[in-house]
Structures are given as structure tokens and as C-alpha cells.
Structure 1
């Protein structure tokens, strides 16, 4: 009898499997997280303002809450939330019935977008995949398209005990501002602004990085 091999940690199959298993717990903890994050709401609103009403935007790695998708839609954007996990997409569609969601790898979004938001969607994959992910996003955006990346600051890059307390082992990658900036420039982005804030009292104790950028015109 042959053994069933587990997918490599940080692979798309592994991420989808683990998020299917932890989506309900995440929703329980973070359903209303943006209500207590004024800085994040301001950053997302500013992104929406740069894109402009009706702009086609992808919320890459929308998770089970769908709250970023809903916030951006509330600012007049045409938003699609995508996630590898079918359970995340199922829950997000239930939580935000007026929004659109699809099961999709965040690197497979289609071209011609006016904007893309990655709100903590990079920490599930190994850091070595960052250049390829940003290159895929650059291809998906029109010239002058807007990018917003939010990520946790640090040096982590490997499998750890799930910070959500599920008992699972999950892939966890953190970044420095310099790493995000260098990878974005190499992918063809012009950097707008990079800011860092301290963690709020009820968050995981890591600084948050906010990177804005635009795709270069040909």
C-alpha cells in the first residue's frame, strides 16, 4: 500500500488545505478586525482614492472574512476577492453577500486590472517565491495600475505552530521593508511609499509594513 505524501510546506496545495482547516477559526477571531484598525482603514481608503470609482481591483488572498473586499467595494471599486481555499471563499461569500469571490491562486489573476491589494497574503508562501508573485501581479495590472502590499515585518521563513492556536503547523514568512521594495522594483513597479507601524495591542507582536507602488508605463 502506497503512502499518501503531504504537499510541500508553503505550496499552493498545502496553503489551500491548511486554510480550509483553519478558516472558521480565523473568521471567529477577525470578522470585525478593521473596526479596530484606523490606520489600515485609512490606507485602504487612500488606495481606493488613487484607483478611482469603478476601477477593477483584485483582493489577493481575501481570506474567510472578505472584509477588505467589502471595504474597497464600499469605496466604489469593482472588486474580486480571490483565495486558494474553497472554505475561505465559501465563508467570505456568506459574510459579504454583495461582493464577488472566486477560488484562485493569487498569482493567476487576469490582466488589465486597475489595482491589486495584498493584505497579509504573502506570509503563507516561502520568501523565495516573492519575486515571482510580484512579477505575476505586475503582469496583471495595467500600466500605471496601483499596488498595495501589507505584510508583517521580521525574518521568519519556515514552518511554525499556527499563531491562531489551532494546533496545526503552518508556513510563516515575514519581510523587511527593503526586501519588499527590492522585489517590487525588480518586478517592474515604481515605489510610491513604504511605511511601518507598531502592532496594535490585540495583534500578533510584529510591526506592519505598508508598501504602495504603481506599474511602470511602457
Structure 2
């Protein structure tokens, strides 16, 4: 008898994120390898984050993807940065793209168990793969990994989507896709123990998915 087909992971689960990103990592790399070159707002947000953390600060780039470009930019600003991603294929490609940077396979919700007390964490479009109901748990995990006074930067697409959809990035996959309002991110960050320092919304650039972007900067409160 033929082997039973592998079970399909629950949408938005860690196994599902790993499966979908392993499948589309090469496609994404081709689209976004140099995306920061045309995004001055994003580059400035990352520069400002690095300035708040300070030289040599230990930082995770959560959901670094296959490009490694955010990790590399943070490193260029003097941070001790590690790119983490659930997808082994994303990590393998990031290591090829940015051989001078460090990347490991890790769930962004397990950062507190990595044994480091971080000075900062960046989530650049890493929240849209998981259901909104997991936002509180994820932010609590980030807060537990950061020292008091540690810095957080979240970049997310604005909206109300929360479910399985055709991949907005143009692959042939059905993927989990979540969007967030500024209010949702501010509220969740506050409940997780962060003080929100700034929450800016920018319009999409001409070559982006036509959805506004939310940039939230916050500081970890006292334990």
C-alpha cells in the first residue's frame, strides 16, 4: 500500500510557517534581496533603533527571512545581531547572501529560552504568518527575552486580515496572512510590559503591496 500522505499542519502553526517558507524562500529572495535600497523610511527606522540600543548591543532579527538584509543593516550600525527564522531554507539562503552575519533556525516565540538577555529585538514583517490570537503570547515571549530598557521595533502591514489566503507575495501557495492596526500593536505591546515610544504609519511605496505599514518602537519596562 502507498504511504499515507503527510498531514497538513494547522494553518499558522510553527510547522505551517516552516513548510510555507521553505517552499517560497527562493521566490522571496528574488523579489526582495535589495528592497531596503528603495525604502528610506525603513532604513531610518532601523538606524534609529540601533541608536537607541547602542553600539555592541545584543539583538535578534526575528523572522530574518532569506535575504538577511535587516540583519546586515543592523550589524553595519554596530549591533551584535543574530538573524533567526523558523525556516531552514531561509536561514541557508541568508547565510549565503550575508556570509559575514550570523543566522540560526529558531522560533521567534522561543527567544526567551535561548539563554541570552537581549538589548533589542526587531520584527520586520514576521507577525503576518501567525494568527492574531497568538500576538499576546509572542509579545510576552519577546518581553521575557529583553532586559528592562531593551528596545523593540515591529514593522507590520496594516489591516484586518487574519486567515488563510493566496500568497500576496505571488507564489502558488495558500498561506496564513495576518495584518494589524496600530491600535492592536500598541495595546498588545502595553499589555506585554512595553512602553510604546512611537507608532508611525507610512503609505506603501510604489513597488510594494498597496497596504500601509505600521512601525512601532517600544521600550521594555522594568521586570
Counterpart in 1 of 2:77? Answer: 75
Partner of 1:9: 11
Q: Secondary structure at the match of 2:204?
A: coil
Find the partner of 2:21 among 19, 24, 36.
19
TM score, norm. by length of structure 2: 0.96
Alignment of 1:57-206 (within 5 A): 57-109=59-111, 110=114, 111-206=116-211
Structure 2 Cα separation of the partners of residues 216 and 5 of structure 1: 42
- Under a length normalisation based on structure 1, what TM-score does the superposition of the two structures give? 0.98
What displacement does 1:166 show? 1.4
Moved over 4 A (4+): none
Query: Partners of 1:39 and 1:4 in 2: how far apart?
Result: 43
- Where 2:90 maps in the other structure, the secondary structure is helix
Q: Structure 2 unaligned runs (5+)?
A: none
SS in 1 for 2:175: strand
Inter-partner Cα distance in structure 1 for 2:5 and 2:94: 34
Q: CA deviation at 1:4?
A: 3.0
Give the Cα separation in 1 of the matches to 2:105 and 2:6: 24
| Residues 79-88 or 110-119, more deviating | 110-119
Question: Which position in structure 1 is the counterpart of 2:43?
Answer: 41
Question: How big is the shift at 1:3?
Answer: 4.9
Deviation, 1:157, is 0.2
For structure 1, the residue ranges without an aligned partner over 5 or more in a row are none
**SS state at 2:172 partner:** coil
Give the whole-Å Cα distance in 2 for the aligned partners of 1:6 and 1:217: 41
Paired positions, count: 218
Match of 2:53 in 1: 51
**Structure 1 vs Structure 2 CA RMSD:** 0.9
